[in-house]
Structure 1
Amino acid sequence: MTRKMLCFIAGLLSCVAVAAQDQAPAPEATAKPGITSTAPPEVQTFQKIEDKWDDAVNARDQYALELVLSPVFVGISATGDITTRNQELAGVISGQDKIDHLDQRVITVRMLGDIAVANGTYKLHRKGSSGSVDEKGVFTHVFEKQRNSWICVNSQRTILREDGPPGKSKKKQGNGAEQPFHIPLISK
């Protein structure tokens, strides 16, 4: 009986030791020599896709843009205009979009299986009715993995609010203390 008990305890301890080794990776396995970027690999992957998108728009390259945008793509501009992939491609080919330069930077990426949501900032330089216009904002791009590559199925842009002309300060309300939200009947 004691022999069986000792064998059982020895087997149990060996299983615990194996499980503990699996959970704590060796230090040499986690160190990656030669990599200088601190960005997660997902951000780097989607930044490369955004760079391809930028290059395609800036060079007015229809075929490169077709590789980034899904056939079911829907884009919502910062002004609220809704476009499809074909409309985006037609705008690039005909030059109706009036974009001189587009630069997008990925900040975060959330992976949801074969769907990824990339958030970031953009700078857009375009020709407006009254001259050149610089637009800065944030974007959300939804990607779907198809045939081992990621393509954008949805794009949403929002222009960042301007703080106003330099030298003018905003009017302070109350005692100047910051309040994250207003609670009726409690806060002033």
Structure 2
Amino acid sequence: MRAIRMLLVSALVMAPLVGHADEKDVARLTQLLEKSQTITARFSQLTLDASGTSLQETQGQMSVKRPGLFYWHTDAPQEQVVVSDGKMVTLWDPDLEQATVKKLDARLNQTPALLLSGDVSKISESFDITSKEQGNVMDFTLKPKTKDTLFDSLRVSFRGGLINDMQLIDSVGQRTNILFNGVKANEAIPASQFQFKVPEGADVIQE
């Protein structure tokens, strides 16, 4: 699923403090994720190949709510919508008038959107985690424990306790940088945000 796969600072006076994959790193990340039961934000996403050449640049809007609910809308001209109701994931491609629907399985549980909306108690089951602290910025590097994943490495950064950016690196060195703007946490989000109604006449692919 293309949209999920792509699903994703100023000078600081303190020197980096590098941690190891221990319980402290897991506890820090868990605490920061649990702090925001809902998140809404704009995002800017840049995908680069292994040489650093820009492949694609997009913007959009996202919303997440624990447990397992997310909405990821990439703006036109490359518009796509990805919605999870906690059980199923729908990818809507308006250009093709096509919806792809699949079960929210273990592989998708390791995507960035579900890191923000999923069950934080299970993070350490899926990832090896290390952390780095610089002033009010906390960086975490997550490496999947299994090989059947959508990325080889994920870095997630928090500024002032709120999600700030992510970087994904896949097996061929392709990087996807996702910067979040206007982040709002713990505000009410309508349940309808996470329910996608396929337009009449559209093609539906069940996977």
TM over 0.5, yes or no? no
Task: Give the alignment's TM-score, normalised by structure 1.
Answer: 0.31
More helix by share: 1
User: Greater strand percent: which structure?
Assistant: 2
Using the size of structure 2 for normalisation, the TM-score is: 0.29
Higher Cα radius of gyration: 1
Q: Flag the structure with more relative contact order, 1 or 2, with Cα contacts below 8 A and sequence separation at least 6.
A: 2
